[in-house]
Amino acid sequence: MSFLAEEIASQPDELASMLDRETERLRRFVAGLPPISFALVAARGSSDHAAEYARYAWAHAAGIPVAPAIPSLHTLYGTPPRLEGALVVAISQSGQSPDVAAVLEEGRRQGRPTLALTNDPGSPLARAADHVIQLCRTPERSVAATKTYTCELGALALFAALRSGDDQRLAALARMPEAMAATLAACDAPAVRVAEALREVAQLVCVGRGLNLCTAQELALKLRELLRVATIGFSAADFRHGSIALAADGLPVLLAMPSGLAHADMRALAGEVRARGARPVVISDATEAGEGADGLFLPMGGAAPEWLSPLTAVLPGQRLALAMVADRGLDPDRPRGLPEKIVRTV
Amino acid sequence: MSFLAEEIASQPDELASMLDRETERLRRFVAGLPPISFALVAARGSSDHAAEYARYAWAHAAGIPVAPAIPSLHTLYGTPPRLEGALVVAISQSGQSPDVAAVLEEGRRQGRPTLALTNDPGSPLARAADHVIQLCRTPERSVAATKTYTCELGALALFAALRSGDDQRLAALARMPEAMAATLAACDAPAVRVAEALREVAQLVCVGRGLNLCTAQELALKLRELLRVATIGFSAADFRHGSIALAADGLPVLLAMPSGLAHADMRALAGEVRARGARPVVISDATEAGEGADGLFLPMGGAAPEWLSPLTAVLPGQRLALAMVADRGLDPDRPRGLPEKIVRTV
């Protein structure tokens, strides 16, 4: 079994373990925070899609606006912004990228509280932070991130739940490992069938709305890095503002559309995309959402409130990427053109 | 002449006119602002790429962190964030999209100062704002935005210059219409040659770094909407974190790399991309940057400080998109699959 396949399968257990290990520690950190008017979040790659989740989930569940950090202002230009009122957060699997650490260090310099999410508690990033959340029990060995991504989502959801002071949010999060396991069980065989149907495909679009914009962005990255398929991630609204012109000539359009408030609009978009001659590929727990998708349907199992659904909605897409890798005879642990797991940018 | 060609050519004059008309009005608005710890900026499509510019330029020149707004929290979910300390900004050519207006209205509701950038001072968006900047003298008739995009950049740069209190920034901005005219003159014929070289291309990548990330994002959108070419915009750092796997097999990689602090890293990236078997297409005022680009070089004319270079760097890419439209026998004013200029999302 490849590292990638193993790590995809391990995600429910890793999330449960992270919640066990980190909940009470993070509760104390949250309780001790000074007044905060916004969060500045630094991340790259998959971790940046977890940061995208925080933009939605922290505002939605805890009222906190999130500004994505701009590492180059700290490294290249030497003009960091004023951070009065900010909680400074950095997210990095390896904790090694100097640009991400530079943002956290600037937060310290300006006397602001700092929080790091990383898989390596001995990394430079972890050493620079007031509080560190360790993501997984073991190192991630696949070049393409999966289990660190979902543990990042889980840790960010944990922060939102604690900050909201709503125990029901915490209880819902504690049920997510089970929902993730149910989704992995439900999507395995369908992912193989969809991969076969997409055998000749060289371009894809992924679309999500609201809380699942991160899902679309993350799945687009998985398909680019594992398969070298030119895949663009969009929000439903931004897709409609011009780029929907691409939806034609059988282009597969992967739609992350779990049930919830964003679902109806995503169903409408699936219909528009089909009417334009593109091929919707639907990820959903609502089975009727698969109608008209010509069998290109990736089911989610279990139930999740919408604000936590990115934890389950990403799984069928990860399994699809893995199945497409196998179908094309590629090596899931050695993507072409990506020799290194750790990328250091400045 | 098409509306698109006319509007591309009109950009230096439109910017000069906007600066004449709006500078003193905006100076008074800026002087009257209460204390601000961050800006919340709402926009879609091309206007969202102008918002991306504000993220960099406002922090870089005026120390203001920028959080992109999330319209769906205001419309779909009914959970807007707390806006204490925020300046609320909305950018929309038409001023018609209800989701963008909803963010500004929430700012008013929470008693925060609001600023709208739009081409229609009678639009719902304009009516909801404390202060309105009108972008161009005349309506934009091309479906693909060009002159409203550069006037948005200019208005956002004007805000940063006024807020910084540095008169040299204002003087540099006043010289940009001339630099834009010089760039339009320099890139016209090269754009036609590059369009011919890219005749068979169905996929592209655009990369920018730092202040010109917006340029990469905006040019990617132009190529998608005008040509139905699957084009992905990346920051240089995010491209290196996984998606660089795409750089192979002759894929054209458009690099927005004017001279400045980001230039050296972009030159290094051009070399990496070439070494991987992809084809760099270079936009720069540094002529030696075109070396090894196999003639795929789009020159910028005039001189601009890096923080204002997005105003010039986008022009050769707009001209390239126009030339590719002509080369492929398409209609620049009627892109396939985009019947409407105004898109209303909720």
Q: Looking at residue A344, what is its pLDDT?
A: 87
Q: Which of residues 270-309 of A touch B (CB under 8 A)?
A: 276
- The minimal CB distance from B63 to the residues A46, A66, A82 is found for A82
Q: Looking at residue A292, what is its pLDDT?
A: 65
Contacts of A202 in chain B (CB under 8 A): 203
Q: Looking at residue B293, what is its pLDDT?
A: 65
Give me the mean pLDDT over the B8-24 stretch.
98
> Percent of chain B scored above 90 by pLDDT?
92
Separation between Cα atoms, residue B32 and residue A25, nearest integer Å: 44
pLDDT in tens, B228-239: 999 999 999 989
Q: Please give the full DSSP string across A201-216, using - where no structure is assigned.
A: --EEEEEE-GGGHHHH
Higher pLDDT: B336 or B257? It is B257
Q: Which of B76, B99, B203 to mutate to test the interface with A (most CBs of A within 10 A)?
A: B76
Q: Are A40 and A86 in contact (CB under 8 A)?
A: yes
- What 3-state DSSP class applies to A231? strand
Q: Do B70 and A55 touch (CB under 8 A)?
A: yes
Q: How far is B60 from chain A (nearest CA, A)?
A: 5
> Percent of chain A scored above 90 by pLDDT?
92
Question: Which two tokens mark B16?
Answer: 């000069």
Round to the nearest angstrom and report the end-to-end CA distance of chain B.
35
Q: Looking at residue A322, what is its pLDDT?
A: 98
Q: Looking at residue B317, what is its pLDDT?
A: 98
Give me the mean pLDDT over the B203-229 stretch.
97
Q: Do B244 and A337 touch (CB under 8 A)?
A: yes
- Unique residue bearing structure tokens 């925020």: B86
Separation between Cα atoms, residue B57 and residue B308, nearest integer Å: 9
CA proximity to A324, closest of A192, A150, A154: A192
Closest A-chain CA to B79: A60
Phi and psi for A206 in degrees, rounded to 5? -120, 135
- What 3-state DSSP class applies to B93? coil
Contacts of B83 in chain A (CB under 8 A): 65
Give me the mean pLDDT over the A266-283 stretch.
96
Q: Looking at residue A287, what is its pLDDT?
A: 81
Q: Looking at residue A231, what is its pLDDT?
A: 96
Residues near A128 by beta carbon (within 8 Å), at least 6 away in sequence: A101, A104, A105, A108, A114, A116
Q: Looking at residue B292, what is its pLDDT?
A: 65
Q: Do A44 and B237 touch (CB under 8 A)?
A: yes
Q: Are B118 and B107 in contact (CB under 8 A)?
A: no
CA proximity to B311, closest of B18, B6, B2: B18
- Mean predicted lDDT score pLDDT of chain B: 95
Q: Do A261 and B64 touch (CB under 8 A)?
A: no
Please check whether residue A199 touches B, CB under 8 A: no
- Unique residue bearing structure tokens 């204390």: B35
Contacts of B40 in chain A (CB under 8 A): 65
- Band of pLDDT at residue B287, cut at 50, 70 and 90: confident
pLDDT in tens, B101-153: 999 999 999 999 999 999 999 999 999 999 999 999 999 999 999 999 999 99
Q: Which of residues 141-160 of A touch B (CB under 8 A)?
A: 144
- Mean predicted lDDT score pLDDT of chain A: 95
- Looking from the CA of B233 toward its CB, the CA atoms found within 13 Å total 23
> Percent of chain A scored above 70 by pLDDT?
99
pTM above 0.90, yes or no: yes
Closest A-chain CA to B233: A232
- The minimal CB distance from A343 to the residues B40, B64, B241 is found for B241
Q: Looking at residue A293, what is its pLDDT?
A: 65
Q: Looking at residue A289, what is its pLDDT?
A: 80
Q: Are B142 and B3 in contact (CB under 8 A)?
A: yes
- Band of pLDDT at residue B100, cut at 50, 70 and 90: very high
Q: Do A37 and B210 touch (CB under 8 A)?
A: no
Give me the mean pLDDT over the A258-263 stretch.
97
Q: Do A70 and B79 touch (CB under 8 A)?
A: no
Number of H helices, E strands in chain A: 13, 10
- Band of pLDDT at residue A26, cut at 50, 70 and 90: very high
Examine the predicted complex and report whether its ipTM is higher than 0.85. Answer: yes
- The minimal CB distance from B230 to the residues A79, A203, A210 is found for A203
- Band of pLDDT at residue B294, cut at 50, 70 and 90: confident
Q: Which of residues 54-113 of B touch A (CB under 8 A)?
A: 55-56, 59-61, 63-68, 70-73, 76-77, 79-86, 99
Q: How far is B228 from chain A (nearest CA, A)?
A: 5
Residues near B274 by beta carbon (within 8 Å), at least 6 away in sequence: B280, B292
Q: Looking at residue A28, what is its pLDDT?
A: 98
Q: Which helix (H) or strand (E) holds B303?
A: none
Give me the mean pLDDT over the B277-293 stretch.
87
- The minimal CB distance from A230 to the residues B56, B59, B203 is found for B203
Q: Looking at residue B54, what is its pLDDT?
A: 98
Q: Do A247 and B337 touch (CB under 8 A)?
A: yes
The pLDDT of residue B268 is above 90: yes
Contacts of B336 in chain A (CB under 8 A): 245, 248
